Each structure stands twice: as structure tokens, then as C-alpha cells.
Amino acid sequence: MSGFENFWAIYGNLVLTLGTNALLALSIWLTLACGMLAMANAAFMGIGAYAAALLTMNYDMPFSVALAGGMVAPAIVALLIGLPTLRLSGVYLAMATLGFGEVVRVTILNTESLTGGALGLNGIPQLTQWWHVLLSLLIVLFVLWRVRASKVGRAFDAIRGDETAAGLMGIDVRANKMLAFVAGAMIAGLAGALNAHLTFFIGPNEYGFDRGVEILTMTILGGIGSLIGPLVGSFIITLLPEMLRGFSDFRLVVNGLILVLIVLFLPQGIWDPARFKRWFKGGKHA
């Protein structure tokens, strides 16, 4: 038992970070599954983190209420910005949502009385426990699994394949896109709320462009063909810097090289069900 306690004392935060990063990867997987390259998930994470932290620090709300607030706040914002931005697609949607992320960062910087500005919020109570992260991840996975197998999931697939054809088939493209966008924002906000009550401190620079690219990389690296892909990608992106600590100053170079090689040779992601089926059929015929 002492061995486990020592392990948890050293790596406990890393293990919980794996869980919150998995939630972030799933949040952007949902929008990618509906054919949207939206880059606002880091901003939604920040909104959820600040909303939850302010509820516990300033209003002494229970942790469950803070988590709910961390999900509702980004959902409302996503609903508001989704009305004009979801008319866009492709790189234009990515640029619009990146711009929104910058607006959120600057707003946090300029509301010092509420958010602490550039200094961030310090002294957030450490309320996140391992079972909070595990339960949240299992619930999100179950809900997304059910959605993927439902009529809504089939509508998402049709929109990703051909938005115009999906509309001609009677699918409400705009409503389904809005659903995916808002649900992704809620999951990202949940990850932010859990992370805020794990790390004691949050600041505006944690939710900028770099974090947005990192979240997208997790999902693309793992693959969007199934729910397992984002989990694999988030684990690799989280653990790789820790595993490469021995390379010292060259760690980032080796990290980038590994990611480039994976993208070059596995363009559909590491976890690609179609590739596994081909391998299985090939081995069976052999």
C-alpha cells in the first residue's frame, strides 16, 4: 500500500491530467464527427474553469454545482456564437473560432477584479478526486457511444461526408451542427472545471492558441474513426513529454519528430478501425 501511495503522491496529478485531457479530446472529436473544424475548445475549457472556480471561491458553492456551472456557462456562450459562426465551414470556421478564443483570452486579461487578469486565480480549493475524473470520463464515453449509434450519430456522419447531400436527404444540418458544437463546449467546460480544482491555479495563457492546437492534435493523432482514437491520442500527447525528459533540451525536437512520423505513416490516426480490418482480412487469407 505504501508503494501505491508513493506512486500516487508523485504521479497522481499526471494520472488525473490524463483523464481531463481525454475529455478535451472527446470534446473536439464530437465537432469533427459532424464535419466541423472548430478551434474554440480551449476557450470553452477556460470559460468552464473560471466559472467553476469563481463559484467555489466567491460563492462557496458545492463542487457539484460548480461542475454544473462549468458546463452550462460554455454551453450558453457556444449557443450564442454558434448562431453566426456555424454558417461557415472549413478553414473559415477554424479562423472564426480561433478569433473567439482570442476574445475570451483578452476578456479574461481585462477583467482583473473578477478573473485576476494576467495574474490568474490562485488558491482554488483542491476538490477534484480521482473518481470525479473517472466517473466524468465514463459518463461522457457512454453518452457519446449512444449518440454515435443513434439517429443523431448517423446524421453527424452524413453531414461530415457531404453537407449538401445530407440537407437534401431531410437532415437539419444547422440544428445538428449546433448540437455537436454546444455538447462539445459542455464537455470542454467540464474538463476545465475539473482541472481548475486540481491545479490550485488557472491563468489566461493556459487557454490560448497553443492549448487549442494541442487539443486538436490529440484527436487527429489518435484518429476520429472511433471513440478510442481520442483516448489514445490524449494519452500519447500527455505522456510523451514525461517520457522524453531524459532528452533535456532536445525533448521538444524529439516530441515533434515522433508526431510528424506518426502523421506521415498513419494519416488516419493511430487507432484506425478500417486499417485493423484490412490487417485482419489479410492475415486470415494468408
Per-residue pLDDT of 242-267, as tens digits, reads 777 766 666 667 667 777 777 788 77
Start-to-end Cα distance in the chain: 48
Nearest to 267 by CA among 229, 239, 231, 234: 229
pLDDT of residue 177: 95
Q: Which grid cell sits at 259?
A: 508526431
When the pLDDT of each residue in the chain is averaged and rounded to a whole number, the result is 88
Domain boundaries along the sequence of the chain: 12-221
Give the CA distances from residue 5 to residues 12, 104, 149, in Å, rounded to whole numbers and listed in that order.
9, 39, 40
Tell me the per-residue pLDDT of 177-222, one tens digit each, with 9 for 90 and over. Answer: 999 999 999 999 999 999 999 988 999 989 988 888 889 888 888 8
pLDDT of residue 188: 97
CA distance 98 to 94: 6
Query: Is there a contact between 207 and 45 (Cβ–Cβ < 8 Å)?
Result: yes
Task: Say what the pTM is.
Answer: 0.92
CA distance 129 to 63: 11
Between CA 137 and CA 146, with CA 143 as vertex, the angle to 5 degrees is 135
pLDDT of residue 5: 77
Tell me the per-residue pLDDT of 29-85, one tens digit each, with 9 for 90 and over. Answer: 999 999 998 999 999 999 999 999 999 999 999 999 999 999 999 999 999 999 899
CA distance 124 to 60: 11
Instruction: Give 276's pLDDT tier (boundaries 50, 70, 90).
Output: low
DSSP string, 140-198: HHHHHHHHHTSHHHHHHHHHHH-HHHHHHTT--HHHHHHHHHHHHHHHHHHHHHHHHHH
Tell me the per-residue pLDDT of 83-139, one tens digit each, with 9 for 90 and over. Answer: 899 988 888 999 999 999 999 999 999 999 899 998 999 999 999 999 999 999 999
pLDDT of residue 77: 96
pLDDT of residue 281: 65
